Amino acid sequence: MVAQIKQFVIKNSLEISDVTDELCLSGLCIYIEKCLLKNEELLKQNLVLIQDIANKFTQFVNLSQFYNETFQRDPSLIFKANDFTTIKRDVLLDIVTKNNHILNPIEIWDKLMEWAVDQSNELPSDITKWTDTNVTVFKKLIQPFLSHINFQEISRADFFQKIKPFKNVFNDKFYIKVLEHYAFNNIHNELNKPQIETWSISPPASPLTPPTPHPLLNHVNLNSARRPPVRFTAPPIFHQPNIQPPVPRFSLPNSRPHYRAVPRPNRY
């Protein structure tokens, strides 16, 4: 209730300012303007009315400055104003045309539907009850805006839920182009995606870490190849003078015994 009273006060104050400007009562205009600027949040809720007064009369310099700074900071505030549906068609078209790269496209669509319902007495507020005749009326109202909405930035879910039911408002060529984007966008990305080799690249081997063997050589025991070679040392050969090799204390296998011949005694 308090918010409605404040909105009524500001609306009537601006209307009074309109009259005082026409009567050249500059002192009263400055006083009303100063009072209104004390509550900026309330001005934002009636941003369409502020924009209309500021553009119509040059007397309200501070109100015009407030609107320009607020709108440049966040153009979407015009959609959030309580009096948005009262905005004039040319003003709304100019806002959408100049700020379509900043504004959320699905938000533009939603607000256009809300604005169209308020502009025509033939459109029910419940869009599920719209007939073909209602869709035709809606088409005439929003036709100038369609080319300035970036439909490619709208998600598939929002497109098929909110826009596809009103496909009759588009011309066939434009609608087919939008459908192709949603149908083949991922395919184009896949085709344009650079092919990347799947080979794994290992960092250069550190002196402290052994090199990684090739997968085809996993069956080879590379650890044995890294062992130092085994050296066989032959037994020493005794060529030094006056040194005889040791006599073995065992008999060699398959060796025949040696007999020493003993002379027979002479019996004669």
Spatial CB neighbours of 120, under 8 Å, sequence gap ≥ 6: 137, 138, 141
Q: What is the pLDDT of residues 149-207, one digit of tens each?
A: 999 889 988 998 999 999 999 988 888 888 888 877 665 555 565 655 444 445 555 55
Ranges of residues in the chain with a pLDDT under 50 are: 1-6, 8-9, 23-24, 197-201, 220, 222, 225, 238
Q: What pLDDT shows up at residue 89?
A: 94
Measured CA to CA in angstroms, residue 26 lies from 19, 20, 39, 55, 102 at distances of 11, 7, 21, 17, 37
Q: What pLDDT shows up at residue 53?
A: 83
Q: What is the pLDDT of residues 99-118, one digit of tens each?
A: 988 899 999 999 999 999 99
Q: What pLDDT shows up at residue 236?
A: 55
Query: What's the CA gap between 96 and 100, in Å, rounded?
Result: 5
Could you tell me the sign of the dihedral formed by the alpha carbons of 52, 56, 60, 62, in that order? positive
Q: What is the Cα 14 distance to its own chain's centre?
A: 44
CB 77 within 8 A of CB 44: yes
